[in-house]
Amino acid sequence: MTLEIEEDPYLAGQLLLAMPGMEDERFSKTVIYVCAHNGDGAMGLVINQPIADLSFNDLLEQLNLAQTAHSQKISVQSGGPVEQGRGFVLHGPDYQHESTMVVNSHMSLTGTIDILKDIAEGQGPKDHILALGYAGWGPGQLDSEILANGWLTVDADEDIVFNVDVDKKWESAMGKLGIDLSLLSEDAGHA
In percent, how much of the chain has pLDDT > 70? Answer: 86
Residue 89 · residue 112 · CB < 8 Å: no
Q: b or e along 20-35 (b: 16 or more beta carbons within 10 Å of the residue's beta carbon)? A: eebeeeebebbbbbbb
Note whether residue 133 is domain-resident: yes
Note whether residue 106 is domain-resident: yes
Tell me the C-alpha distance between 47 and 127, whole Å. Answer: 13
Note whether residue 97 is domain-resident: yes
Number of structural domains the chain divides into: 1
pLDDT digits (tens, 9 = 90+) for 131-157: 999 999 999 999 999 999 899 999 999
CATH number at residue 89: 3.40.1740.10
Note whether residue 38 is domain-resident: yes
Maximum CA extent, the chain: 65
pLDDT for the residue 127 = 93
Task: Name which residue leads in pLDDT, 122 or 186.
Answer: 122
Tell me the C-alpha distance between 81 and 39, whole Å. Answer: 21
pLDDT for the residue 169 = 96
CA terminus-to-terminus distance, the chain: 39
Note whether residue 189 is domain-resident: no
Residue 10 has pLDDT above 80, yes or no: yes
For the residues 86-98, what does the mean pLDDT come to? Answer: 94
Instruction: Grade residue 181 by pLDDT with cuts at 50, 70 and 90.
Output: low
Residue 191 has pLDDT above 60, yes or no: no
Residue 131 · residue 75 · CB < 8 Å: no
For the residues 24-36, what does the mean pLDDT come to? Answer: 94
Note whether residue 191 is domain-resident: no
What pTM was estimated for this model as a whole? Answer: 0.88
Note whether residue 4 is domain-resident: no
- Cβ-based neighbours of 161, under 8 Å, separated by 6 or more: 15, 33, 47, 90, 107, 127, 129
Domain housing 101: 14-183
The secondary structure of residue 122, as a DSSP letter, is T
Instruction: Grade residue 20 by pLDDT with cuts at 50, 70 and 90.
Output: confident
Note whether residue 9 is domain-resident: no
Instruction: Grade residue 64 by pLDDT with cuts at 50, 70 and 90.
Output: confident
Tell me the C-alpha distance between 7 and 172, whole Å. Answer: 25
In percent, how much of the chain has pLDDT > 90? Answer: 64
For the residues 102-123, what does the mean pLDDT come to? Answer: 92
